[in-house]
């Protein structure tokens, strides 16, 4: 197995890894995690597509996507069968990184999807029509709900990554998320698994953060990345400059942590395909 030392050559997965970043709670770090892990992977030679599945479009904003009334977005892919390749845009200043943006139309998709055939599998269908042989990762930024958009993500992916905020009530609602993953796995996508848990907004000075981290580790064991993402002002500033923290301030504690987390994810590829 690849060890440390080859800083710039992370192993590429044999086939494209499709990872949903999900947690029905808002504000736990889904978008921040999606954007920064994607940027870190791309900066280490991985070819990465971010799919923004949240009508808020925060990932699209953070990745500098230009959007206007004419922009074709993941909405058109889900509802009108538009090809992902046609709407994915390169991310400025980060080679190997693309984003399929969200526009506000997506807010209606949750309802519009209900009447469509195979409504849970629209995104999966779109991925099937897309030649993913030139991609190493697809990261899907999910909205803060367990509705049809998140179900579409879970049906279309192989792995779920759950960011957990090291705060009060961090574990509340997690049972419901896990049951949903199990339901999708048993009925719609047998290949689905929770592969990764990332502790975010960690504040080592507080007993609370430490307790949450310990509790999550004792529940989820090796699924939890060793790297903790600390609370860092630079992380929260970056989106207002239409950037990831990886480019905005690569030496900040937040950027360093996301880089380490991405490295762990890249080096776990072997274990995932075996399990
Ligand atoms: P979600 O997508 O789950 O709703 P976000 O990624 O948008 O969560 O994060 C919620 C808020 O917390 C945002 O304002 C974001 O900038 C901020 N944030 C996320 N991670 C960190 C961090 N490590 N340090 C400081 N602020 C953070
Ligand atoms: Mg978000």
What is the spatial distance between Cα 209 and Cα 132, in angstroms, rounded to a whole number?
Answer: 39
CB neighbours of residue 99 within 10 Å: 28
Q: Is 228 in the pocket of ligand 1 (CB under 6 A)?
A: no
| Furthest CA-CA distance within the chain | 52
Can you give the pLDDT at residue 7? 55
Whether residue 48 contacts residue 100, with contact meaning beta carbons closer than 8 Å, is answered with no
What is the spatial distance between Cα 210 and Cα 215, in angstroms, rounded to a whole number?
Answer: 9
Can you give the pLDDT at residue 9? 75
> What separation in Å is there between the alpha carbon of 22 and the centre of ligand 1?
14
Dump pLDDT digits (tens) for 204-218.
999 999 999 999 999
Q: Is the pLDDT of residue 10 over 50?
A: yes
Ligand 1, atom 9: closest residue by C-alpha: 29
Mean pLDDT of 37-49: 97
Q: Is 57 in the pocket of ligand 1 (CB under 6 A)?
A: no
Q: Is 240 in the pocket of ligand 1 (CB under 6 A)?
A: no
Predicted TM-score (pTM) of this structure: 0.95
What is the spatial distance between Cα 250 and Cα 39, in angstroms, rounded to a whole number?
Answer: 11
Dump pLDDT digits (tens) for 138-191.
999 999 999 999 999 999 999 999 999 998 888 888 999 999 999 999 999 999
Strand partners for 160: 20, 194
What is the spatial distance between Cα 169 and Cα 83, in angstroms, rounded to a whole number?
Answer: 39
Share of the chain above pLDDT 70, in %: 95
Dump pLDDT digits (tens) for 91-150.
999 999 999 999 999 999 999 999 998 999 999 999 999 888 899 999 999 999 999 999
What is the spatial distance between Cα 170 and Cα 231, in angstroms, rounded to a whole number?
Answer: 15
Ligand 1, atom 6: closest residue by C-alpha: 29
> What separation in Å is there between the alpha carbon of 32 and the centre of ligand 1?
6
Count the residues in the chain.
Answer: 275
* Atom nearest to 232 CA in ligand 1: 24
CB neighbours of residue 220 within 10 Å: 16
State the average pLDDT for the chain: 93
Ligand 1, atom 15: closest residue by C-alpha: 236
> What separation in Å is there between the alpha carbon of 116 and the centre of ligand 1?
33
Of the ligands numbered here, which is closest to the C-alpha atom of 32? 1
- φ, ψ (nearest 5 deg) of residue 28: -95, -5
Can you give the pLDDT at residue 274? 36
Q: Is the pLDDT of residue 275 over 60?
A: no
Question: Which comes out higher in pLDDT, residue 273 or 139?
Answer: 139
Question: Which comes out higher in pLDDT, residue 171 or 247?
Answer: 247
């Amino acid at each position: 197995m690849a060890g440390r030392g080859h800083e710039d050559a992370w192993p590429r997965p044999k086939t494209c890894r499709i990872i949903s970043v999900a947690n029905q709670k808002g504000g736990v770090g889904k978008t921040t995690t999606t954007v920064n892990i994607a940027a870190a992977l791309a900066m280490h030679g991985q070819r990465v597509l971010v799919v923004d599945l949240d009508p808020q479009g925060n990932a699209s904003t953070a990745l500098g996507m230009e959007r206007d009334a004419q922009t074709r977005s993941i909405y058109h892919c889900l509802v009108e069968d538009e090809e992902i390749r046609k709407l994915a845009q390169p991310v400025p200043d980060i080679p190997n990184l693309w984003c399929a943006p969200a526009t506000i139309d997506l807010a209606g998709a949750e309802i519009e999807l209900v009447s469509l055939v195979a409504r849970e599998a629209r995104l999966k269908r779109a991925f099937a029509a897309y030649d993913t042989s030139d991609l190493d990762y697809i990261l899907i930024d999910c909205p803060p709900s367990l509705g049809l958009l998140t179900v579409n993500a879970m049906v279309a992916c192989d792995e779920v990554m759950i960011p957990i905020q090291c705060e009060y009530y961090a574990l509340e609602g997690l049972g419901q998320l896990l049951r949903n993953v199990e339901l999708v796995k048993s009925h719609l996508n047998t290949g689905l698994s929770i592969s990764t848990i990332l502790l975010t907004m960690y504040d080592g000075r507080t007993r609370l953060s430490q307790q949450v981290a310990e509790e999550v580790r004792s529940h989820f064991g090796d699924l939890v990345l060793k790297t903790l993402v600390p609370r860092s002002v630079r992380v929260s500033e970056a989106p207002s400059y239409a950037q990831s923290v990886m480019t905005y301030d690569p030496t900040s504690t937040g950027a360093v942590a996301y880089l380490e987390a991405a490295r762990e994810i890249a080096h776990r590829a072997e274990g995932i395909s075996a399990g």
